[in-house]
A and B are shown apart, each in its own frame.
Chain A
């Protein structure tokens, strides 16, 4: 359609005003403009989930010609109801960075040279074959991400686990939500939250456990604040190790010493029992009590192995265990006053208040990550505040499809799209759907993420294909793993959209399509699957990660398992994958329905989404005749765990006398490879920094902006000090955001992990500071 020039300028004028309104009035919506513009043919708007965090905001992407030009919140999406955060509003600009990778590259004589895609794909397939022949099937590995679309992860799992026969499939979600998974599995026997975001409007109390929602999940934080404004009787408690923007907005900020959240959670349970705030009817009908091994290690050594052995205990034994966690005793460990512990317990214990607990990396990236999840679930189970509107322990995720792709598709070494490789029935189901011999699927898991990179360093793995993630920024104790990847006889393939420190170690780089340049699905934190169409074309030779894997699979001789055409493969893959979840516990919506709606929550049964799992009124998978059914466990009961406080793997001492805590900022998403190419976000936060407590800074003689060297037993980084900035750590702690590849803070961090989840702890290691 030929545009009238004047009409085009008027459209630009309107667009400019709407963008300005968006920045001044958060959440503002101009639904009328969409219809007007659609009718004129100038800008068309199509739905998609946001590309960044795990909230799963629905957005409308405005397209003019072949180019995505604008974003606005989708008022039809129940997640964000038209709201967007600063990253979401600017997200389409991530598609158009100047240094976008548009051609395949192959390392020749130490230099990367551009080659046709077919040549790069041929080389990858040949190298995989050669490596398997020389070193065995477990010498090749795939490392993906929670940004993989569901089809990406599904075909990766099918190729590696079903066809090649190795369980060497892992994803960076191991670094961000593995403890959430093992928390769910050990407490409920089934993964993912029982509640949903709608709980926010029902709750009277919010406790955020080590979770800076104001910066990490701003749209959900806005919903929380809006609820407080509307209902007047809402209380927000920020329970954290440093003061942040979330603390400033909370009704009360309570700081605890690193790792002592374990002790405080037990003390809250102690108080709930001491005051008889226990919901006895719920506890007797729906819970059992257990303990596991203690003093379980930290995983810092190669080949570390641990298996928990649960034992049944009685309520009286549990009560005796809690006697070590009186508020007065815990005050000495945690730095949290007994009064504040009792206050928190009273909020959870008040039968008239509905309580939500939120957490994300603070509890997940924790050497006792599984335990702390168990302990927060204990609080909700003892009080019966679970699986009902507004009563909701809620684990948030950081990536758009950590739930959809990694947890549901099962792109971790032990997992399958339904169940685990160790289970014969699950292997048989996978073999049948994948059309491969059941003997192809190895019953033994191989390497979790940290151990996978250790295996690459040792030489047990020789070939690794990395898609949609940037481990050469994110791996803890990074020096070891980068040196491992650079060894002469290792072959690294990286599929990505921009040059990163990970493409710098690659032997082959494949140009990938990004977000709405391809069709796909994500799965968010509240069990919502969200489809997006290919809305704009990708540049140059870019190809979806799914199709890259299909191309290589066919070159390896697996045409039968990957038969689909380029115009149909996403729909076909979805319908094949959906067969794994064909039960009332996990049934998923059809491809056609996903295309229509701004996300559909599972279990999706008889045309209805399930908002609250395990609650018979809402969840069709529950046995009739009971009010709750925790059907993930064989006896239908949730488990309350006795888990002790244990200190971090490495604590400050005389030589390394500060805690190092790492994390994120609102402007940048994870390693910044996309958001640092969005000018407005980059200019707002151009470089990383180290937050230092003002008194510590004074002791060091450091003023704001001066350079400080942060030194651990593993490495060092020099960066500018931020004193009384947006975040303020307590004395004896520093905080560094990890988004900036110019300051690789993970050269300093420690690769200790939770022995149950195998998720590393990025929040606690010991460092010393030097003024530069």
Chain B
């Protein structure tokens, strides 16, 4: 049951699309910056399977240019 946070950068001109895509994904909460093209993403998945599925979706998101993890917590560890 990991909780992770990331800094996510959109492809050029795709900030709005990125926010829409991430908001639509299960287990995701976003905090977009109001003055720069950066999004904070917090994920909270119930199990390993959901986590793996989410990571795969993020990896293939066309509006996403880069993603870097800033925080990780796993209650099972």
A86 contacts chain B at the CB level, 8 A cutoff: no
Interface size on A (CB < 8 Å)? 23
Whether the Cβ atoms of A32 and B31 lie closer than 8 Å is: yes
Q: How long is the Cα–Cα vector from A30 to B4 in the complex, in angstroms?
A: 18
Q: How long is the Cα–Cα vector from A28 to B38 in the complex, in angstroms?
A: 9
Whether the Cβ atoms of A75 and B35 lie closer than 8 Å is: yes
Of residues 1 through 21 on chain A, the ones whose CB sits less than 8 Å from some CB of chain B are: 6, 9-10, 12-14, 16-18, 20-21
B43 to chain A, nearest CB (A): 9
A289 to chain B, nearest CB (A): 48
Q: How long is the Cα–Cα vector from A75 to B31 in the complex, in angstroms?
A: 16
B74 to chain A, nearest CB (A): 10
Interface string of B58-77 (1 = CB under 8 A from A): 00000000000011010000
Whether the Cβ atoms of A33 and B31 lie closer than 8 Å is: yes
Residues of A within 8 A of B36 (CB): 25, 27-29
Q: How long is the Cα–Cα vector from A175 to B8 in the complex, in angstroms?
A: 47
Contact (A14, B5) CB under 8 Å given A21-B33, A32-B32, A33-B31: yes
Q: How long is the Cα–Cα vector from A25 to B39 in the complex, in angstroms?
A: 12
Whether the Cβ atoms of A27 and B31 lie closer than 8 Å is: no
Number of A-B contacts (CB under 8 A): 71
Q: How long is the Cα–Cα vector from A361 to B56 in the complex, in angstroms?
A: 56
A24 contacts chain B at the CB level, 8 A cutoff: yes
Whether the Cβ atoms of A24 and B35 lie closer than 8 Å is: no
Whether the Cβ atoms of B40 and A18 lie closer than 8 Å is: yes
Q: How long is the Cα–Cα vector from A21 to B40 in the complex, in angstroms?
A: 8
A82 contacts chain B at the CB level, 8 A cutoff: yes
Q: CB < 8 Å: which of B3, B6, B33, B70 contacts A28?
A: B33
Contact (A13, B4) CB under 8 Å given A6-B44, A25-B36, A28-B36: yes
Residues of B within 8 A of A75 (CB): 34-35
Q: CB < 8 Å: which of A10, A24, A29 contacts B3?
A: A10
Contact (A13, B5) CB under 8 Å given A20-B70, A21-B40, A30-B40: yes
Q: Closest B residue to A27 by CB, please name it.
A: B35
Whether the Cβ atoms of B3 and A13 lie closer than 8 Å is: yes
Residues of A within 8 A of B38 (CB): 21, 25, 28
B73 to chain A, nearest CB (A): 5
Whether the Cβ atoms of B3 and A9 lie closer than 8 Å is: yes
Whether the Cβ atoms of A17 and B5 lie closer than 8 Å is: yes
Residues of A within 8 A of B32 (CB): 30, 32
A31 contacts chain B at the CB level, 8 A cutoff: yes
Residues of B within 8 A of A14 (CB): 5, 29, 31, 40, 42
Whether the Cβ atoms of A29 and B71 lie closer than 8 Å is: no
Q: How long is the Cα–Cα vector from A9 to B71 in the complex, in angstroms?
A: 10
- Among A16, A17, A82, chain B packs the most CB atoms within 10 A around the CB of A17
Residues of A within 8 A of B71 (CB): 12-13, 16-17
Residues of A within 8 A of B31 (CB): 14, 17-18, 30, 32-33, 36
Residues of A within 8 A of B3 (CB): 6, 9-10, 13
Q: How long is the Cα–Cα vector from A30 to B31 in the complex, in angstroms?
A: 7
B7 contacts chain A at the CB level, 8 A cutoff: yes
Q: How long is the Cα–Cα vector from A21 to B34 in the complex, in angstroms?
A: 13
Q: How long is the Cα–Cα vector from A27 to B36 in the complex, in angstroms?
A: 9
Residues of B within 8 A of A27 (CB): 35-36
Interface string of A619-648 (1 = CB under 8 A from B): 000000000000000000000000000000
Interface string of B15-41 (1 = CB under 8 A from A): 000000000000001011111101011
Residues of A within 8 A of B35 (CB): 27-29, 75, 82
Q: CB < 8 Å: which of A9, A13, A31, A36 contacts B34?
A: A31
Residues of A within 8 A of B4 (CB): 13
Q: Closest B residue to A11 by CB, please name it.
A: B42
Q: How long is the Cα–Cα vector from A36 to B44 in the complex, in angstroms?
A: 17
Whether the Cβ atoms of A21 and B7 lie closer than 8 Å is: yes
B19 to chain A, nearest CB (A): 11
Whether the Cβ atoms of A20 and B33 lie closer than 8 Å is: no
A314 to chain B, nearest CB (A): 54
Residues of B within 8 A of A12 (CB): 71, 73
Q: How long is the Cα–Cα vector from A20 to B42 in the complex, in angstroms?
A: 14
Residues of B within 8 A of A9 (CB): 3, 73
Q: CB < 8 Å: which of A16, A31, A82 contacts B5?
A: A16
Q: How long is the Cα–Cα vector from A30 to B42 in the complex, in angstroms?
A: 14
B65 to chain A, nearest CB (A): 14
- Among B4, B31, B41, chain A packs the most CB atoms within 10 A around the CB of B31
Q: How long is the Cα–Cα vector from A24 to B73 in the complex, in angstroms?
A: 22
Whether the Cβ atoms of A10 and B29 lie closer than 8 Å is: yes
Whether the Cβ atoms of A13 and B42 lie closer than 8 Å is: yes
A663 to chain B, nearest CB (A): 32
Q: How long is the Cα–Cα vector from A568 to B8 in the complex, in angstroms?
A: 47
Q: How long is the Cα–Cα vector from A13 to B41 in the complex, in angstroms?
A: 9
A137 to chain B, nearest CB (A): 56
Q: Closest A residue to B69 by CB, please name it.
A: A17
A219 to chain B, nearest CB (A): 15
Residues of A within 8 A of B40 (CB): 14, 17-18, 21, 30, 33
Q: Closest A residue to B6 by CB, please name it.
A: A17
Q: Closest A residue to B1 by CB, please name it.
A: A6
Q: Nearest 4 CB-CB pairs, A to B?
A: A13-B5, A16-B71, A17-B5, A13-B71
9 extra interchain contacts, Cβ-Cβ under 8 A, other than A17-B42, A25-B36?
A9-B3, A12-B73, A14-B40, A14-B42, A16-B71, A18-B40, A20-B7, A27-B36, A30-B34
B residues neighboring A (CB under 8 Å): 3-7, 29, 31-36, 38, 40-42, 44, 70-71, 73
12 of the cross-chain contacts (CB-CB < 8 Å) are: A6-B44, A13-B3, A13-B5, A13-B42, A17-B5, A17-B70, A20-B70, A21-B33, A21-B40, A29-B34, A29-B36, A33-B40
